[in-house]
A and B are shown apart, each in its own frame.
Chain A
């Protein structure tokens, strides 16, 4: 559905030239949600702009449903639904229904059946009862859902969602994640740009972490966590003194010295299974207090990205 190969984008001015994307490659298949994570300025929105035909790349190739984003722009535009999120991109003085009617005209949708289509799409995003209300009276969560309604109006197989949950309260964010997952179940390919690591972990089948225009890490959230556990180790916490824990685990070569915690001591090890067996033999009475934690996506993210 989406193929990106060695994509390069540069922004240039009279005084300077900045590479926003530097050899990015990725794939998004039907029925898959692929996340793009990264700090501000990492290149996430630039990649979304290229795929939505707003920006031409300097080098590399990008196709959507087999159509080239530069040479076959119109075909790409018919194949994608775009939601940039936030308050921008919709007409606040129009109602939800009139916004969709306007964009239906931009996609050349036939008038026959349009009323039903708009109703169905608004029902999908739980806005059918507010169809006639002006968008300026909507909450942020409702506006985000309207963005998605607009994106799926012409029934595209590919969705590009740029930070759709930005600024939402927790309940609205959960509702939006459920909506994104339902779009995946409908077989759409979704590229999701986000800052929200919980969102990436909950919704995405595959995550790409972008830093300074390059993908520095890619894989499913589970793969990223297990790979990071091999690299950075997992943390063992036990209600024993730090020195005793260091002594017991000396043969496993802990990654750092045991540190005191409120409940006892904690240490990072790579061979979690061996370390747990040793600890169980050395401190059988403290075993009920044993806790093992793997690196979170947040820890992985922080360890891999550079702020531009």
Chain B
């Protein structure tokens, strides 16, 4: 009960302090909409395939979730509230996970805006339904990836600057725009570690595997965040500085 309560409170807090407004949703959908329009303009038949729509929706959610979660950690640290959270029985992991989920909700709303704008331009939507299922399963895992990155920032005060590079690197391994088979052979094993949003990989069997990978990432993210909190307790650094 306390776990759900802390998760819910973290999510509500995020929506309130990050001011989730229609304008915020629209503004965080502008980059993916722009990318979609570029893809449409470059396509011979002036349309994008279902996979590309899913990939662009993924960018909307993943980008919003990652950026807002990093900002959330920096906010909590600078406001001194992270230290206060660490003195409570809930610790920092649960409320931060709540904030990551709320950021994902924001991202999903932005993705809906992206789809609304781009759907009239699409020539084929044959794989869109399956693609959205793949996307939702993958996003559970990317919430874990986000927590893992967040744990790094909790531990290291000035680490947030490295997040930009990670965003695009992980995009490469997500299967959003480049199939695993198209990656250099040395990089493929790394790619298989990340949840895939590639519709071509989504059969019933692979979706089950994807779900396992996603749940594993979520568990790993929570463990890493709890570990970061414990590490800070030993060193007095990170968010205690």
| Chain A residues within CB distance 8 Å of chain B | 9, 11-12, 46, 49, 52-56, 74, 77-78, 80, 82, 84, 86-94, 98, 101-103, 105-108, 150
Contact = CB atoms under 8 A, between A and B. Distances in A.
Contacts, number: 85
Contact of B233 (A55, A74, A93, A102): A55
A92 B79 contact: yes
B84 A82 contact: yes
A84 B79 CA distance: 12
Contacts of A49: 236, 240
A108 B5 contact: yes
Given A49-B236, A77-B87, A84-B84, A91 B5 contact: no
A56 B233 contact: yes
Given A84-B83, A89-B80, A93-B16, A77 B89 contact: yes
B112 interface: no
A91 B2 contact: no
A17 to B, nearest CB: 12
Given A55-B240, A77-B87, A82-B84, A91 B79 contact: yes
8 contacts: A54-B87, A55-B236, A74-B89, A82-B87, A86-B80, A93-B17, A105-B8, A108-B1
Top 3 nearest A-B pairs by Cβ distance? A88-B80, A108-B2, A105-B9
B17 A91 contact: yes
A84 B240 contact: no
A54 B16 contact: no
B202 interface: no
Given A89-B83, A98-B16, A105-B9, 5 more contacts: A84-B83, A86-B80, A89-B84, A94-B17, A108-B5
B2 to A, nearest CB: 3
Contact of B6 (A92, A93, A98, A105): A105
A181 B221 CA distance: 44
Nearest to A94: B16
B13 A102 contact: yes
B81 A107 contact: no
A54 B233 contact: yes
How big is the B interface, by class? 20 to 34
B89 A78 contact: yes
B236 A90 contact: no
A103 B89 CA distance: 10
Nearest to A109: B5
A19 B79 CA distance: 27
A90 B84 CA distance: 8
Contact of B81 (A53, A90, A98): A90
Contacts of A89: 79-81, 83-84
Contacts of B79: 88-92
Contacts of A90: 79, 81, 84
A12 B237 CA distance: 10
B86 interface: yes
Contacts of B1: 108
